[in-house]
Amino acid sequence: MINNKAAGTAITDANGDAVLHTKQYAGDPQAWVQALGGGYTAEYKGSKNYKPSKAYGGAGVSV
């Protein structure tokens, strides 16, 4: 979430990697720094075969 709005969605590939593509906040680096400082939450809604899951991860910015 950035400013109480979802930053975007990503789909996990066969290797377990997901990339978040979002153009909505691309021009606002301050929003990204604020969002990354608070970490992120990944959520899987579940399916017929798999239970839902939700996890939090910290993130940081380095220069």
Altogether, the residues listed in the chain come to a count of 63
Domain count, the chain: 1
Taking the complete model, does pTM exceed 0.75, yes or no?
no
Express each pLDDT in 18-57 by its tens digit.
777 666 655 677 766 766 667 777 788 899 999 999 888 7
Residues 53 and 18 sit within 8 Å (Cβ to Cβ): no
DSSP H or E stretch at residue 29: helix 29-37
Full domain range(s) for residue 6: 1-63
Residue bearing tokens 């996990």: 12
Q: What is the mean pLDDT of residues 5-28?
A: 72
